[in-house]
């Protein structure tokens, strides 16, 4: 998010004789700003960890921590150190984006001409191949669930994740009040709400589960004692269904990938998919488009393979 998009009063530049504001000094103000935007605790934690990490690195290296003295080269060295310590390119990229936001905030608050990261390019991120599940695999996971209320809950979770493409956190925080016929109100990143459609199979699975569950609760998904299902509970429900179906290490985000790739394969529009997934940027959605094009190319190659049209002499 650009600094100009923060809903805050105009910044007051440092006057002569004022003390230099360090990154640790800035932390509390930045925290309050993030909380004012109603970002999730998890998102805030990620942003603050990046700021704290940079502060610790600068101190350890003997570099200045005053905001106006932090230079682009210092940040580049910090990001390089993260990579050298074995962090994945995705983690380093996340730290870059978090710091870019924090230092833009600092520049605006202190009236600095620009953030030291204003001209920095993000670290190159290797794009991994998306590995969605096949529809037959998802059917096998659903069929592996027992015919009791917990089994019906797991079937409903699998179908909601696959049919709507929710994030795990979005799915876990659903309430019964969020259900509105064939629509669901979803609270995504930054507490942004969106309305998505739920297909007939998913609706039927949810209604079967609600009819059989032994506890009344405003939470849609509950555990054995009636408490709302936690993050681990949701992950375990998906992982165990995958294990029973002979698919190792399945996680909820794979069902989101599977929804997106199947949606496009069946002729869905990429812009509608972006809205459905809750993406504010089209960059992530483009990954699914590229996968769909690649998958189509693989199928087309089966029909038009030049090598398969050769009839080489059989060798004994």
The domain that holds 86 is classified in CATH as: 1.10.150.130
Q: Are residues 298 and 193 in the same domain?
A: yes
Q: Which residue has the higher pLDDT, 294 or 234?
A: 234
Q: Are residues 54 and 17 in the same domain?
A: yes
Q: What is the pLDDT at residue 16?
A: 47
Q: What is the pLDDT at residue 264?
A: 84
Residue 241 sits in a domain whose CATH number is 1.10.443.10
Mean pLDDT of 77-99: 88
Task: Reply yes or no on whether the pLDDT at 55 is more than 60.
Answer: yes
Mean pLDDT of 82-108: 89
Up-side HSE of residue 294: CA atoms within 13 Å toward CB? 10
Q: Are residues 156 and 229 in the same domain?
A: yes
Q: Are residues 159 and 266 in the same domain?
A: yes
pLDDT band at 30 (very low <50, low <70, confident <90, very high): very high
Q: Are residues 34 and 156 in the same domain?
A: no
Q: Are residues 74 and 161 in the same domain?
A: no
Residues 97 and 89: beta-carbon distance below 8 Å? no
Number of domains in the chain: 2
Q: Are residues 58 and 142 in the same domain?
A: no
pLDDT band at 125 (very low <50, low <70, confident <90, very high): low
Lowest-pLDDT range of 179-183, 264-268, 285-289 = 285-289
Mean pLDDT of 116-135: 79
Q: Are residues 296 and 157 in the same domain?
A: yes
Q: Are residues 92 and 141 in the same domain?
A: no
Domain with 25 in it:
8-110
In a domain, 207, yes or no: yes
Q: What is the pLDDT at residue 8?
A: 38
Task: Reply yes or no on whether the pLDDT at 6 is more than 80.
Answer: no
Q: What is the pLDDT at residue 42?
A: 87
Q: Are residues 105 and 146 in the same domain?
A: no
Q: What is the pLDDT at residue 176?
A: 95
In a domain, 253, yes or no: yes
In a domain, 125, yes or no: no
Residues linked to residue 183 through DSSP beta bridges, in sequence order: 180, 197
Judge residue 313's burial from the number of C-beta atoms within 10 Å of its C-beta, 0-12 exposed, 13-18 middle, 19 or more buried.
exposed
In a domain, 98, yes or no: yes
Q: Which residue has the higher pLDDT, 51 or 296?
A: 51
Lowest-pLDDT range of 63-67, 101-105, 211-215, 294-298 = 294-298
In a domain, 314, yes or no: no
Site of tokens 């106006």: 68
Q: Are residues 39 and 153 in the same domain?
A: no
pLDDT band at 149 (very low <50, low <70, confident <90, very high): very high
pLDDT band at 193 (very low <50, low <70, confident <90, very high): confident
């Amino acid at each position: 998010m650009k600094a100009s998009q923060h809903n805050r009063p105009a910044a007051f530049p440092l006057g002569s004789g004022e003390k230099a504001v360090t990154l640790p000094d800035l932390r509390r103000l930045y925290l309050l700003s993030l909380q004012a935007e109603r970002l999730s605790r998890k998102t805030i934690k990620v942003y603050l960890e990046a700021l704290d990490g940079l502060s610790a690195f600068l101190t350890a290296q003997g570099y200045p921590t005053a905001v106006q003295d932090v230079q682009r080269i210092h940040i580049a060295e910090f990001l390089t150190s993260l990579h050298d310590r074995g962090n994945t390119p995705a983690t380093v990229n996340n730290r870059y984006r978090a710091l870019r936001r924090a230092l833009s905030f600092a520049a605006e608050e202190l009236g600095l001409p620009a953030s030291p990261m204003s001209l920095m390019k993000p670290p190159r991120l290797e794009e991994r191949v998306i590995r969605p599940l096949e529809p037959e695999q998802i059917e096998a996971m659903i069929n592996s669930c027992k015919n009791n209320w917990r089994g019906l809950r797991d079937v409903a979770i699998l179908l909601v994740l696959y049919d709507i493409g929710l994030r795990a956190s979005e799915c876990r925080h659903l309430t019964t009040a969020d259900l509105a016929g064939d629509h669901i109100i979803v609270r995504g990143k930054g507490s942004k709400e969106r309305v998505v459609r739920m297909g007939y199979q998913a609706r039927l699975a949810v209604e079967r589960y609600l009819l059989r569950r032994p506890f009344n609760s405003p939470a849609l998904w509950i555990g054995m004692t009636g408490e709302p299902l936690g993050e681990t509970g949701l992950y375990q429900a998906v992982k165990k269904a995958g294990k029973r179906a002979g698919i190792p290490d399945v996680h909820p985000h794979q069902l989101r990938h599977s929804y997106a790739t199947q949606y496009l394969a069946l002729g869905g529009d990429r812009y509608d998919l972006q809205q459905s997934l809750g993406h504010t940027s089209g960059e992530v959605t483009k990954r699914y488009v590229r996968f769909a094009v690649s998958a189509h190319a693989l199928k087309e190659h089966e029909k038009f393979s030049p090598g398969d049209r050769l009839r080489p002499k059989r060798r004994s």
